Copies of this chain bind each other. A is one copy, B any other.
Amino acid sequence: MKTSTLFGATLCTFLAAGAHAQSSVAIYGFVDVGIRHVNNSGVGSITSEASGGYRTSRLGFRGTEDLGGGTFAGFKLEAAVGADTGTAGSTTVAGQFFNRGSYVELGNKSYGTVRLGLDLNPTYVTWFENDPWYGIGMGSAGNLFNTTQNGPLRSVFGPVSNTETTTFYTRNMVQYFSPNVGGFFGVVAYAPREGALSSAGAAQQAHFRLGYNAGGPFKAAISRATSHAQVVAAGPVSLEVDTDANASYDFGPVKLAAAWRQFKADTSKQNNYFLAATIPLHSGNLQGWYGRSKMSGTVAANLVPGTSAGSIDRDGAAMWVLGYQYFLSKRTTLYTTAAHLSNHGHSFLSLPGGPAVTIANFAGHTSTGYEVGISHAF
């Protein structure tokens, strides 16, 4: 048990039957459920029980095998869980149970790691690692963009969920993670399209990421993804470019962080940024961020039914989030969150958990939400 705990992921030893020798699997996850109230101005409000107000509810299996000489092999299989209703896996790609991670990897401390399978995008990590809500719930910095708005993501991917874009996860990836050398590290990744459609989760993607983390208070990263996606069979293959950067500094009494992200298609762009602060306070964290998303360029006629072709320069949104997390232990957290999102122009973004909105009834409106919940790690 001693050597395996050194790797921090391989923990309870099992002996696999049959031809295979000693094995090890760690079961881990989160169950996070809260009570949420979201009001979409002019449309109405809903009070709901919601999964993942602070951390994504999930169930995962992972392990690492020490191959000697600094070399190791490992795997991860991780499913998102809708803990309020008992769902598991992707709600948009049929049969995709392990939708948050499904890979095998082979690595060496000096030479880096090759990882094959479904994983977080490098551009996801750069954008969300500075988001105190890490991409989940009402406080997620992912609420600033989606594929239902007139803009570059909808131009390339059509009105499907973000999971098929470069914004979150990518399947069929070959990734290489460099070792950390003097604080610097890099990631390059490629995913073939395999002749499939973005509605089935497939796109030809190329990624890189360069970061700095010397173990000190300052961290930064830049990354870029290009994605060639086909929405319908025999339809055109479109190109999306996703570029982002982040930086953070931990002053001790306060940690400041910022991130910028740009989505670009043929004739349109979306720029997003946020500034976040974390203040340790009484066995907890007071956290918040302010951010904006801004469209520019033009879109084709009927991209969103009911709209006309032309400029999207006036479209965009501003959002702030404020929350406090009280740590009952390292594993169990009580949290409360307030968030407010205001749209400009034709934007009709809304916080998750509110009543359904359309461009007709919500363009330029505001979405406001409050939440309390329990987040438990295992």
Do B192 and A48 touch (CB < 8 A)?
yes
Stretch at the interface among A20-28, A245-253, A297-305, A337-345: A20-28
User: From residue 95 to 143 of chain A, which have CB atoms closer than 8 A to chain B?
Assistant: 95-106, 114, 116-118
In the assembled complex, the CB of A312 is this many whole angstroms from the nearest CB of chain B, namely 30
Do B31 and A376 touch (CB < 8 A)?
no
Stretch at the interface among A167-175, A177-185, A316-324: A167-175
Number of interface residues of A (CB under 8 A): 92
Among the listed B14, B19, B48, B116, which residue makes an inter-chain contact with A26, where contact means beta carbons less than 8 Å apart? B14
Q: A63 within 8 Å of B by Cβ?
A: yes
Kindly list chain B residues whose C-beta atoms are within 8 Å of the C-beta of A35: 116, 174
- Interface membership of chain A positions 158-197, coded 1 if the CB is closer than 8 angstroms to chain B and 0 otherwise: 0000000000000111100000000000000001101100
If A49-B173, A355-B195 touch, does A14 touch B27 (CB 8 Å cutoff)?
A: yes
Q: A67 within 8 Å of B by Cβ?
A: yes
Among the listed B25, B61, B376, which residue makes an inter-chain contact with A75, where contact means beta carbons less than 8 Å apart? B376
CB-defined A-B contacts under 8 Å, sample of 25: A1-B1, A9-B17, A15-B26, A17-B28, A17-B62, A20-B377, A21-B331, A23-B28, A24-B378, A51-B117, A71-B328, A73-B376, A77-B81, A83-B103, A83-B118, A84-B102, A84-B116, A84-B171, A85-B102, A85-B118, A85-B171, A85-B201, A86-B90, A86-B96, A86-B171
Kindly list chain B residues whose C-beta atoms are within 8 Å of the C-beta of A329: 21, 65, 67, 73
- Name the 9 nearest CB pairs between A and B, nearest first: A88-B97, A86-B102, A33-B116, A31-B75, A49-B172, A86-B98, A85-B171, A31-B104, A21-B330
Bound complex: CA of A305 vs CA of B95, how far in Å? 29
Do A17 and B26 touch (CB < 8 A)?
yes
12 additional contacts, CB 8 Å, given A73-B331, A85-B96, A88-B98?
A: A9-B15, A11-B15, A14-B28, A16-B331, A16-B378, A73-B328, A75-B378, A77-B83, A84-B102, A85-B172, A86-B90, A86-B99
Q: A87 within 8 Å of B by Cβ?
A: yes
Kindly list chain B residues whose C-beta atoms are within 8 Å of the C-beta of A281: none
Among the listed B24, B27, B73, which residue makes an inter-chain contact with A332, where contact means beta carbons less than 8 Å apart? B73
- Interface membership of chain A positions 24-59, coded 1 if the CB is closer than 8 angstroms to chain B and 0 otherwise: 111111011111000000000011110100000001
Instruction: Among A11, A35, A334, find the residue whose CB has the most chain B CB atoms closer than 10 A.
Output: A11
Do B117 and A33 touch (CB < 8 A)?
yes
Among the listed B46, B65, B98, B194, which residue makes an inter-chain contact with A376, where contact means beta carbons less than 8 Å apart? B65
Q: A361 within 8 Å of B by Cβ?
A: no
Do A14 and B12 touch (CB < 8 A)?
yes
Q: A288 within 8 Å of B by Cβ?
A: no
Q: A211 within 8 Å of B by Cβ?
A: no
Kindly list chain B residues whose C-beta atoms are within 8 Å of the C-beta of A308: none
Q: A5 within 8 Å of B by Cβ?
A: yes
In the assembled complex, the CB of A62 is this many whole angstroms from the nearest CB of chain B, namely 8
Among the listed B62, B73, B116, B330, which residue makes an inter-chain contact with A20, where contact means beta carbons less than 8 Å apart? B330
Kindly list chain B residues whose C-beta atoms are within 8 Å of the C-beta of A34: 116
Do A117 and B86 touch (CB < 8 A)?
yes
Q: A91 within 8 Å of B by Cβ?
A: yes
Do B88 and A95 touch (CB < 8 A)?
yes
Bound complex: CA of A91 vs CA of B96, how far in Å? 10
Kindly list chain B residues whose C-beta atoms are within 8 Å of the C-beta of A172: 48-49, 84-85
Q: A374 within 8 Å of B by Cβ?
A: yes
Q: A284 within 8 Å of B by Cβ?
A: no
Bound complex: CA of A67 vs CA of B15, how far in Å? 21
Do B86 and A31 touch (CB < 8 A)?
no
